[in-house]
Amino acid sequence: MGVLLLSTIVTPNDAAAQPSFQPGLVLPDGQWTATAVTAGPITGAGFAGAIIYDGAFSFIVTDGVVAGDWNILGTSNFSGGCFSGNGAYVIEGIIDGTAAGPVLRQTGGYGNSTVSLCDGTEQSGPISMSGALTAPITLTSVSCEQAVGHFKLPADMAVASGGASSDLVAPFIATRAEAVLSHDMEIYSGEVTALTLEGLDLTNSVEGGELLDFVALNEILGRAEELYRQLRLINDCDRRNAGEFINSLQSTIAGLIDTALAHPDQFSSHDIARLISAALRVGLIGDGAADPDLASQYERELINELERRLDEGLDDCVDAAGLVVGADLLGVDGLLEAIQTDLDALCL
């Protein structure tokens, strides 16, 4: 998997494991607005810190051709021994390419950083921007109203702040302007960004070894659903299925599942069942998924995990109950029946 990671640093091997462009995922014509939020560590000579990228994109698709512009704000904090600092910079550019393969191309950038030195003084100055980002966007889910995908921010993007450890993968969440009932794309996009940032915090904490805060997760899922109600159906494009939907937190849930599958000991069977529920809730898996191929991949991985846990042996009644609910959520009746037997034995 490793398809829709938010903040996990992507090593070259991880980058190679991401799915390649899938034909059939095509942005319908119309005006679009998108957001992209990601974060990661930065390192430099004798210092370390973190950087957050917050991108805003506006483009039009006309007869399958994309045209528009974007900017990405990078804010960083770093420290090393007795000195510390922060930086903020903006890179901007155009977005072009086709509706099946949009591409980001940087045209400029500027920034400033401030460093507090060991002698107590401060130095500020412009950030020297080097390189020019050219990043193809990989689309993973497309409906008539929304699209989800990702693009790579290379490590040297953060060179102004010292340099990133590795490339970062930024989730790309796009909404068609015609779908927004209030017609206020700025407010809508701002709320999507806010939710994505909160999802990023959750993912970061889990990747740091903390238990997943399901209360916080369900809270943002509920807010995302409220936000979703501001969108109306646009039936001017071919849908892959009649009841498809895309929730803006799809990337967040995908990242959490990736983490759970990579570190299964950190998640109970009950946690897995709750993640399966969350994945259905955002249209990542199930018959509501706008990308059935991606859904099948995740469903298969989750079924494999349930089967693995069953093969290893169930610990107790709660463990069995988590698996049996997970099996029913995924619609695997044979697995549900197999676990039901264990449930009866463990829950005496």
Interface with another protein (CB under 8 A), residue from 140, 281, 291, 314? 281
Q: Closest by alpha carbon to 253, among 211, 226, 227, 218?
A: 218
Interface with another protein (CB under 8 A), residue from 113, 143, 189, 252? 143
- C-beta separation of 287 from 268 below 8 A: no
Closer of 42 and 336 to another protein (Cβ)? 336
- C-beta separation of 122 from 116 below 8 A: yes
By the rule CB under 8 A, 328 interacts with another protein: yes
Q: Closest by alpha carbon to 14, among 139, 184, 152, 144?
A: 152
- Angle subtended at Cα 265 by Cα 264 and Cα 271, rounded to the nearest 5 degrees: 65
Residues 83-122, mask of contacts with another protein (x by CB under 8 A): ----------------------------------------
**Dihedral sign, Cα of residue 30, residue 31, residue 33, residue 34:** positive
- Interatomic CA distance for residues 71 and 39, integer angstroms: 16
Closer of 160 and 276 to another protein (Cβ)? 276
- Interatomic CA distance for residues 341 and 336, integer angstroms: 9
By the rule CB under 8 A, 306 interacts with another protein: no
- Local structure of 114: helix, strand or coil: strand
Shortest spacing between CB 343 and another protein, in angstroms? 5
Q: 329 phi and psi, to 5 degrees?
A: -60, -40
15-54 residues near another protein, rule: CB under 8 A: none
- C-beta separation of 172 from 207 below 8 A: no
Closer of 25 and 278 to another protein (Cβ)? 278
By the rule CB under 8 A, 344 interacts with another protein: yes
By the rule CB under 8 A, 331 interacts with another protein: yes
Interface with another protein (CB under 8 A), residue from 245, 259, 305, 306? 245
Q: Write the DSSP symbol of residue 285.
A: S
Tokens of 29: 């014509």
194-233 residues near another protein, rule: CB under 8 A: 214, 218, 221-222, 225-229, 231-233
Using CB under 8 A, list all residues that contact another protein.
143, 145-146, 179, 181, 214, 218, 221-222, 225-229, 231-233, 242-243, 245, 268, 270, 273-274, 276-278, 280-281, 283, 285-288, 317-318, 321-322, 324-325, 328-331, 333, 336, 340, 343-344, 347-348
